[in-house]
Structure 1
Amino acid sequence: MIRLVAINKYYDTRRGKNHVLKDVNLTLEKGQKIGILGRNGAGKTTLIRILGGVERPTTGYVERDMTISWPLAFSGAFQQSLTGYDNLKFICRIYGKDPEEALPAVEDFAELGRYMREPLKNYSAGMRARLGFAISLVVDFDCFLIDEVVAVGDQRFQDRCREELIVKRADRSMFFVSHNPGFIRENCDIAAVLVDGRLVPFDDVDEAYHYYQAHYSE
C-alpha cells in the first residue's frame, strides 16, 4: 500500500508562495492502477516526484510498503558525466542487481547503440528517458510512476513501452499522470483529478473523466 497523507507543496516565487498541492490524501492498494488527470501546470509532475522521493512535501508525508520506481520520464538522478553503462552499474548496485545480467535487456530496450558507452551529457532528452525506462524494467519495482513516458519516441517505441508496462506487468501497482483522459480511461482502475491544487478522487474512471471534462471545459 502507498498512502499520501495531508500533502502540501509550496514553491517560493517573486510573487510569493505558489501553493501547488493542497492537503492531498490518497491510498493506492497493491495491484491498483490510478490515473491522475489535470491540465498542464496542475501539479501532476510535482505529485509524482513526491511519490518517488525526488522531492519532499512542504508538509505531510508518504507511507510506502512497496518498492516504488522513480518517475519513468525522470533522469535527474543520473550522473551526466558518466556513461549510460556506468549509470546502469551504479543503480544496479543500489538495488542489488547484477549489472552484467541487466545490460543485454537494457541495451535491447533502450536502443542506444554506441551511446550506451557515451556520457549522458551527450544524450538527447528522449535518449535519457529511454535509458531510465529500460533500467526501471530490470530493477522491476512493485509500483511504477509513469509521467507521460509512453509518449517518448516513435510509435513503435511507445507500443513497446505499453507492452512492457501494461501487459507484462499487469499485476503491478501504477500511478499514471496525464492530461490525456482517453489514456487514463483505457488503462486505470480508479482515477483522481487535480483541480486548483486539490486532488478529487473517484472510484469510477468514467466519473473522473466527466468531472475533468466539465471542469476544464468552463
Structure 2
Amino acid sequence: MIELINATKYYETNIGKNYILDDVTFTIPSDKSIAILGSNGAGKSTLLRMLGGIDFPNKGTIRSKKRFSWPMGLSSGFQASMTGRQNVKFVCRIYGKDDNHMKEAIEYVNEFSGLGVYFDMPLKTYSSGMRSKLSFGMSLFFDFDYMLIDEVLAVGDPKFRNKAKDRLMEKIKKSNAIIVSHQMPILKEVCDVGIYLDSGKIQYFEDVQEAIDCYQK
C-alpha cells in the first residue's frame, strides 16, 4: 500500500503558493493499478513522482515498502555522452545485475526500442522519442511492484505504441501501474482504481470508470 500522511506539496509562484496536495491523509490499497486524472496544471505528474518516491512533499509523509520504476519514458538520469548500450550496462550495474542479466538486458532493450544503429550512438544524438523508447525498454526489463507511466504510451508510431502496450500488459500481470494519461481507453483497460486530483485534494474511486466520469464532468 501507499500511505499519504498530512502530505502537502506546493510551488511558490508570483501570486502565492500553488498547491498540488494540501494536507492530504489517505491510504491507497495494495495490488491495484491506479489512474491519476485531473485538469492541466493540477499536478498529476508531480503526484506520480511523489507516489514513486522520486519527488517529496514540502510537509507530511508519503511512504510505501513497494518497489517503483522510474517514470517510463523519462531519460533525465541517463548519460548523454554514452551510447544506448552503455546506458543499459550502467543501469544494470546500479541494480546489481550480473553479466548474464546484463547481456539479457542489452538484447531485450535493443530489440524492443528498435533503435538500430543508434543503439551504439551517444544519447545526445537521439530525438526525445528515441530516448523514451530506450527508457521504456529498460523499465520493462526490470521487475518492480509498480510501473510509473506518464503519457509515454503516446510515444512513437502506431506499430511501436501497440508493441509497447502489449509488453506493458504482460508486465502488469505480475506487477501494477500508476498511470497519468489523457487516453481514457488505456486507463479503462489497464487501471483498476482512479484518483482525481483537484485544487490540492484527491478523490479516490474504487472503479476507474467513476474517476473518468468525475474528470470528464
Normalising by structure 1, report the TM-score: 0.89
* Residue 191 of structure 2 is aligned to residue 188 of structure 1: yes
Unaligned 5+ residue runs, structure 1? none
Following superposition, which runs of at least 4 residues in structure 1 exceed 6 angstroms of deviation? none
Confirm or deny: 8 A CA contact 2:140 2:171 kept in the other structure.
no
Unaligned 5+ residue runs, structure 2? none
| Candidates 183, 186, 210, aligned match of 1:207 | 210
Alpha-carbon deviations, 1:190-216, whole Å to 9, x = none? 1111112221111122222221122xx
Confirm or deny: 8 A CA contact 1:44 1:178 kept in the other structure.
no
* Residue aligning to 2:33: 33
Matches within 5 A, 1:82-121: 82-97=82-97, 98-121=101-124
Distance 1:122 1:5, change over 3 A: farther
SS in 1 for 2:4: strand
Structure 1 distance, partners of 2:139, 2:34, is 19
SS in 2 for 1:116: helix
Distance 1:100 1:51, change over 3 A: same
Identity percentage of aligned residues: 46
* Residue aligning to 2:70: 70
Distance 1:118 1:27, change over 3 A: farther
SS in 1 for 2:164: helix
Alignment root-mean-square deviation, CA: 1.8
Confirm or deny: 8 A CA contact 1:37 1:180 kept in the other structure.
no
Structure 2 distance, partners of 1:161, 1:6, is 36
* Residue aligning to 1:13: 13
Q: CA deviation at 1:147?
A: 0.7
Confirm or deny: 8 A CA contact 2:196 2:202 kept in the other structure.
yes
Paired positions, count: 214
Confirm or deny: 8 A CA contact 2:20 2:47 kept in the other structure.
no
Structure 2 distance, partners of 1:179, 1:38, is 9
Q: Structure 1: which amino acid aligns with 2:183?
A: N
Normalising by structure 2, report the TM-score: 0.90
